[in-house]
Amino acid sequence: MVSRTERGRRGGAALAALLLAALTGTAQARSIPQPGLPPSVGATPAGATGYRPAVNYQLQCAGCHLGDGRGAHASLVPKMKDFVGRFLDVDGGREFLVRVPGVAQSGLSDAELAELLNWLLTGDIAGASRPQAFVPYTTEEVARQRHEPLIDVFRTRAGLIAAMRARGIAIDDGSTP
C-alpha cells in the first residue's frame, strides 16, 4: 500500500513532468499537426460516411429545422414539414433547394446530397406537400447547381413565395406572414 505522502510525491512529480514538457515544447509536438497537413488527416469526410439520408438529415439539417422539419419561428428558420415540396411547384424552386447555403455548403457529397433531397421530398418531411410527379435529383444536377452561389437567400426565397401565392398555393412555412 502506498502512503498518502508517497502518492502526493508521485502526483507532484507527474505534474512537474507535464509542466516541463509544456515549457520545453515536447508536449506541443503531439498536439500540433505537421505544417502543410490538412487538419482532418485520418478523419472520414462527411461525404464518405455512407450514412442513410435520415441520419444525414439529423446531422446536417435538424439543428435548425428540428428533427421533424417544423423549423423554429423565433429564429426565422422556416418549417419544411408539409411545405418543402411546394418549392418544386414554381420556377427556380428546385434549384433553390440545392443552393440554399446550409445545403450547398454541407459536408455531404453530391450523391449524398441528392439522396437527402430525394428523401426529404418523398418522405414524412414533405408530407402533404409531396410533389405528385417528382423527378428525383441526380448527383450531376446537384454537382452543377450547388456551386453557383446564392447571393441573397431571403430575396430569392421571397420571390419564390410570391410565385407560389400567384399560383394560389397556400403558404404555411411558419415564418412568412
For the chain, give the DSSP string. ---HHHHHHHHHHHHHHHHHHHHHTTTHHHHSPPTTS-TTTTPPPGGGS---HHHHHHHHTHHHH-TTS--BGGGTB---TTTGGGGGGSTTHHHHHHHSHHHHTSS--HHHHHHHHHHHHHSTTTGGG--TT-----HHHHHHHTTS--S-HHHHHHHHHHHHHHTT----SSS--
Do 89 and 169 contact (CB within 8 A), yes or no? yes
Percent of the chain, pLDDT > 70?
69
**Which of 26-35, 39-48, 66-75 has the lowest average pLDDT?**
26-35
Candidate ranges 77-81, 125-129, 163-167; pick with highest mean pLDDT: 163-167
Type of residue numbered 87? F
Average pLDDT over residues 131-150: 92
Confidence of residue 16 (pLDDT cuts 50, 70, 90): low
Note the pLDDT of residue 173.
72
The whole-number average pLDDT for the span 106-121 is 92
Residue 87's pLDDT band, with cuts at 50, 70 and 90, is very high
Please say if the pLDDT value at position 32 is more than 60. Answer: no
Read off the C-alpha cell for 120. 426529404
Residue 28 has pLDDT above 50, yes or no: no
Q: 128 Cβ partners below 8 Å, 6+ apart?
A: 82
Instruction: Say which residue, 16 or 90, is predicted with more confidence.
Output: 90
Structure-block grid coordinates of residue 50: 455512407
More confident residue, 157 or 78: 157
How many other C-beta atoms can be found within 10 angstroms of the C-beta atom of residue 51? 17
pTM for the model stands at: 0.69
